[in-house]
Structure 1
Amino acid sequence: MFILSKFTDLLHLPPPTFAHPTATALEDRINEKYANKVVHNIGLCISLYDLSKVSEGMIGQDGGAHVNVEFRMIVFRPFKGEVLTGRISSATAAGVKVRTDFFDEVFVPAAGLFEGSRFDGKEQVWIWHNDDQDFYMDKNEVIRFRVEGEVFVDQLPVPPHLKGEESSLHNKPPYAITASCQQAGLGLVSWWVEEEEDGEEGE
């Protein structure tokens, strides 16, 4: 689910940061710039892991220092086939939207749900019919899913003359995950709790 990614950047440290140790000032600047942000084709940066190399600072016209830094970030980028848990955010006829504690862009398309699933448009909920029973995928329920793919969208700055206009490109999240729930143990965690408990009692 998490990986370490190496970055190189030229960071600017304004004069007020000189009162702090250089490493502390750089760590704060890196987290401010990268933490909780998506880097294209890398993933969602969580926080700084460590500093690898720090150059001598070059003083600029504003009196601040420009420092070349190599560092590693903890990045959220699950691999294909990895099983994760989250909570259902919403549902449409197209599928189920899922969120984790820090990432909101997980989508399970209708084709990725169990066979026998149907969408109730009135209740806005997916229902899995199995063994003559209906299992509801209600909002905020804990769901276990399998990662099937990822999509990165390079969100370029919007030109001034286009600001305020609808843009399908800029309405898309910079990083999204597609998932499935088609194997035993996947879907709502509550569906399988009783079965798991019965198995433990039989051991």
Structure 2
Amino acid sequence: MNEKRTKLNPIENNITLTVSVSVAVAIAGSSTKESLAEITSLPPKARVRLYKMYLKSQLSWNVIIPAENLDVEGLMLQKAIVIRLLDDFASKKASKNLGYFMALTTLERIGEGKVREHTGDVLFPVEFSCITFKIFRGEILEGVVDKILKHGVFLRCGPTDKVYLSHQKMADYKYVPGENPIFMNEKMSRIEKDTVVRFIVVGARYVEAEKEFQAVVSLEGDYLGPISQNAT
């Protein structure tokens, strides 16, 4: 589609966005808000381990403003661009390279608009900083037990609930059936629903159709296993 430049001036001012938590919740649900709240409540030294899976990225996207919304200028136009960027950011959800799009933090630059010839809509190039969440193989993380099956458990970790811990990867733990099934070892250590578990990631993949990451994890290693019960 043909485009042409307009006289709309680029906006250079940095804008620090204060909607990061609400954007993250819109993308990933209430568990994301809880995760971010837990991190910000910790002392700086304790945040290092938890921040490993959170990445800061700088991106350049194009934002399209419909022609009917172009009767504004200055700060009102800037606001319209920011709102559209936030909508686009939330609907994007995740990408293979960057992980889950969690929070848009700073709008660095809004470039000169280009009118799309056949529609009259205007395309603005924008540069911004954001926080993303991605699980890496070999990383040690913590998750909350969400579902317990005979052959393993599914955990929630940040925005994903597709973290699988097989019974073969939790040494000495045996499945105990019942109305509320659990895994338990000889030392009476229990893995049950809502238990916080520290694990190591042994494999991760991105499912494009669902825009989701899936991970396989293990408790084989030092200092791994359940660390608290009843997280919710």
Q: Is the 8 A contact 2:148 2:154 kept in 1?
A: yes
Residue 57 (structure 2) aligns with = 5
1:134 and 2:188 matched: yes
Q: Distance in 1 between matches of 2:163 and 2:134?
A: 12
Q: Is the 8 A contact 2:160 2:212 kept in 1?
A: no
SS at match of 1:79: coil
1:143 to 172, 197, 203: 197
Residue 225 (structure 2) aligns with = 187
2:98 to 42, 53, 62: 42
Q: Distance in 1 between matches of 2:190 and 2:179?
A: 10
Q: Distance in 2 between matches of 1:126 and 1:32?
A: 41
Deviations 1:149-180 (A, max 9, x none): 3111121xxxxxxxxxxxxxx6xx62122222
Give the C-alpha shift of residue 92 in structure 1. 1.4
**Paired AA for residue 69 in structure 2:** P
Residue 177 (structure 1) aligns with = 215
Q: Quickly say closer, same or farther: Cα 1:91–1:8, change in 2 above 3 A.
A: same
Q: Distance in 2 between matches of 1:50 and 1:58?
A: 23
Give the C-alpha shift of residue 98 in structure 1. 0.7
Structure 1 unmatched ranges of 5 or more: 156-169, 192-203
Residue 68 (structure 1) aligns with = 125
Q: Is the 8 A contact 2:198 2:219 kept in 1?
A: yes
Give the C-alpha shift of residue 84 in structure 1. 2.4
**Paired AA for residue 129 in structure 1:** N
Q: Distance in 1 between matches of 2:158 and 2:62?
A: 31
SS at match of 2:85: helix
TM-score, length basis structure 2: 0.62
Aligned length: 172
Q: Is the 8 A contact 1:27 1:48 kept in 2?
A: no
Deviations 1:130-167 (A, max 9, x none): 3xx33221111222222333111121xxxxxxxxxxxx
Residue 164 (structure 1) aligns with = none
Q: Distance in 1 between matches of 2:139 and 2:131?
A: 18
Q: Distance in 1 between matches of 2:180 and 2:205?
A: 26
Residue 33 (structure 1) aligns with = 88
SS at match of 1:59: strand
SS at match of 2:185: strand
Residue 44 (structure 2) aligns with = none
**Paired AA for residue 26 in structure 1:** I
Q: Is the 8 A contact 1:129 1:135 kept in 2?
A: yes
Q: Is the 8 A contact 2:136 2:204 kept in 1?
A: no
**Paired AA for residue 174 in structure 1:** E
Q: Is the 8 A contact 1:91 1:125 kept in 2?
A: yes
Q: Distance in 1 between matches of 2:217 and 2:76?
A: 44
Residue 107 (structure 2) aligns with = 51
Q: Quickly say closer, same or farther: Cα 1:111–1:84, change in 2 above 3 A.
A: same
Q: Distance in 1 between matches of 2:100 and 2:224?
A: 24
Deviations 1:75-115 (A, max 9, x none): 001433333222110111332111135332222122321x2
Q: Quickly say closer, same or farther: Cα 1:119–1:39, change in 2 above 3 A.
A: same
Superposed CA RMSD in Å reads: 2.8
TM-score, length basis structure 1: 0.69
Residue 13 (structure 2) aligns with = none
Structure 2 unmatched ranges of 5 or more: 1-52
